[in-house]
Homo-oligomer: A and B are copies of this chain.
Amino acid sequence: MSESFKEVKIRDYLERLGSGAPTPGGGAAAALTSAQGAALIMMVANHTIGKPKYAEFEELNKDILGEAEVLLNSLMDGIDNDAVAFGKVSADYALPKTDEEKRTAEIASASVLAAEAPLMVMEDSLAALRLAATMKGRSNRMLESDIYVAARCLDAGIRSASYNVEANLPAIAKADPALASEMRQHAADIIADAADLISELRGKK
């Protein structure tokens, strides 16, 4: 797949998502949902920077803006990474079953890449959620609800991406059970950390 979904119009992306086309799928939706969360953090920082009322948080918001931009770019790549990885797995499942051992190994190695793509979306989303928790109470109060929207998007992105990690683990476990188990634990840790950050966000005034 040489086309990047980043360069596709929203209407066309949504129509393709809803169609029977192999990509985009749930993994792309997870990445785009989280990308919106990272962008909203940038929006809140942009509406804070330069305001005399929030001068004491000026540097913090500039740092957050820079970090959120890096995460946004990585999450935008995630929309495409999922499609690329899915294409490779599908191609390997179509390999002839004459050499079952080779086929299993190929599927396993493609599945590692296909699990790493959503794991990266989960990591980026968690990092963005940390920025959201940091900026609450230290940014333009008029946009406080946008921090909550960002957190909802990032949480949905994390949970959505986790299904795509999970889906690839059985094939990985056939070749490397330790790696599959490590990836499962890593995803579970991110979900637990995200839940803590969301409780923190809700409790913080």
Interface residues of A (CB under 8 A from B): 5-11, 13-15, 17-20, 25-26, 29-30, 32-33, 35-43, 46-47, 68-69, 72, 76, 79, 145-146, 148-150, 152-153, 155-156, 159-160, 163-164, 166-167
* A40/B11 contact (C-beta < 8 A), A152-B156, A159-B152, A160-B153 known: no
Of all chain B residues, the one with the shortest Cβ separation from A50 is: B20
- CB of A39 within 8 A of CB of B17, answer yes
CB distance from A107 to the nearest CB of B (A): 15
Main secondary structure on A side of the interface with B:
helix
- CB of B18 within 8 A of CB of A69, answer yes
29 contacts between A and B (CB under 8 A): A5-B10, A6-B10, A8-B9, A9-B9, A9-B10, A10-B79, A14-B76, A17-B40, A17-B43, A18-B46, A19-B42, A19-B46, A25-B40, A26-B146, A26-B150, A29-B37, A29-B39, A29-B40, A29-B149, A32-B32, A33-B36, A33-B152, A33-B153, A145-B164, A145-B166, A145-B167, A146-B163, A148-B160, A149-B163
